Structure 1
């Protein structure tokens, strides 16, 4: 059975975007990006809300061949993965290997987890909150960036009660920290 993993890059004070909606402070350096690439080789499915999908869809059309190899590597991993976007306003996907679902149905996610052998990443705190409430999230994988942004879009969902066990951590040269938590039953 596949694991459903909530994944986010966030500021030390817990935000994925600042009050202006910017997240450029969280762009991974080469060391972190290579780590992300290696981690995501075991991922074949992404679950996104509309806003995160809009951001990530740039990877589909970006000509990364002249970029550093680690950028092109991530773009290829992302393009090959299957993506499910939960949106009531988006009718047609703008990227390959993508389908649109109007509603997050927990049983559909349970069936997906049971039917695939590779990990599934869920992105965005609102979508993750729904998955947490349904008991679907198996892990949280967070990259904490050493910056305080003072407010904005919170990286962890409100209204979720979960016990976590730290199973892996790594500090990068630039000061970012990777934390991997298993969600306890």
Structure 2
């Protein structure tokens, strides 16, 4: 059985992106990128909301990667090797391999996907993650806290929902980013 892991870069004040939708403050350096590579290497299926998928699908193309560091090229291959499910009622088709569209988030289908999976799953996109949290599907949170306060924007974690967590791991990176990994305790 696979665990469903919510993983995100977040500002110190808890936002995925600022009030203008920017997240340039969370672009990883090589050390942080290598961390994400290792994390993603263990993911068999990624669940995305439409906007997160549209952001991530750049990893399907090679045209921009030739001048990027090896760690970025490595990530592209890891991303391509992962199955992807995009939850969208408006996206007409996907433009990446190993990707399918689901028109609505079905908690029971995700539960079955976890039960049948031989590897962990990730969930990306704030709106989609909130649904998974509300249905008790998220097993772990992996957050990289960036040393910036953005003052508002899209929250990284659900509002109005209490979850008890157990710290499993932590790490400080040279650029000031802090990694926190928590298990969601069953209630």
- TM-score, L = length of structure 2: 0.96
CA–CA distance in 1 between the matches of 2:182 and 2:130? Answer: 16
- Alignment: residue pair count: 185
Moved over 6 A (4+): none
Q: How does 1:1-185 map to 2 (within 5 A)?
A: 1-63=1-63, 64-185=65-186
CA–CA distance in 2 between the matches of 1:125 and 1:148? Answer: 18
Runs of 5+ unmatched residues, structure 1: none
SS of match in other structure, 2:118: coil
Query: Is contact 1:26-1:145 (8 Å) kept?
Result: yes
Q: CA RMSD in A?
A: 1.0
Q: CA deviation at 1:103?
A: 0.6
CA–CA distance in 2 between the matches of 1:62 and 1:52? Answer: 19
CA–CA distance in 2 between the matches of 1:172 and 1:105? Answer: 37
Runs of 5+ unmatched residues, structure 2: none
- TM-score, L = length of structure 1: 0.97
SS of match in other structure, 1:182: strand
